[in-house]
Amino acid sequence: MIDVKKHIEYWLKTAKHDLEVADTLFETGKYDWCLFVAHLVLEKTFKALFVKVHGNKLPPRIHNLVRLARLCKLELTEEQAIFLDKVNDFNLETRYPDYKFNFYDVCTYEFTKEYFQKIKEYYRWLISLIES
C-alpha cells in the first residue's frame, strides 16, 4: 500500500481534475453532468479525508456523501446533511435513464449555479480539514 500522503494526494488530484471537468461542463451548459461530476468531487475529497482520519485505511466503496462524512467523524448540522443528501441525488438521477430527463429539466442555469457554488464551498472546507 502507498503511504498516507500519496494516498491522500491521489484522491485530491482526481477530485481537482473532476472539479475542472465540472467547471467546463457548467460553462458549456451541460448542467446535469456538471452536477453529477461535482458530486464526484465531494465524494473523492471525503475519501481523502477518510484516509487521513483512519490512518491510510482504504475508503469504503460507497457514494453516499452523508455516510462518508459520518465515517470521517464529522458532526454535520442538519443543514449540511440535507445539502449533502440533495447532492447524492445528482449521482443517482444522472445515472438512471428513467430519472435523467426529469433531472435534465430541473438543471437550469440558476439551479446548477447555486448548487455548484455551494459544492465548491464544501470542497474548500474539506480541503481545509485535510490540510489542518
The whole-number average pLDDT for the span 44-49 is 98
Asked if pLDDT for residue 101 goes beyond 70, the answer is no
How many domains are there within the chain? 1
Entry pTM = 0.93
Instruction: With CA atoms as reference, report the closest residue to 68 among 79, 81, 86, 56.
Output: 81
Find the domain containing 88 and state its range: 4-131
Domain containing 16 — which CATH number? 1.20.120.330
Mean pLDDT of the chain: 92
Letter for the amino acid at 80?
Q
**pLDDT score, position 40:** 97
**pLDDT score, position 104:** 82
**What whole-number distance in Å separates Cα of residue 17 and Cα of residue 44?**
11
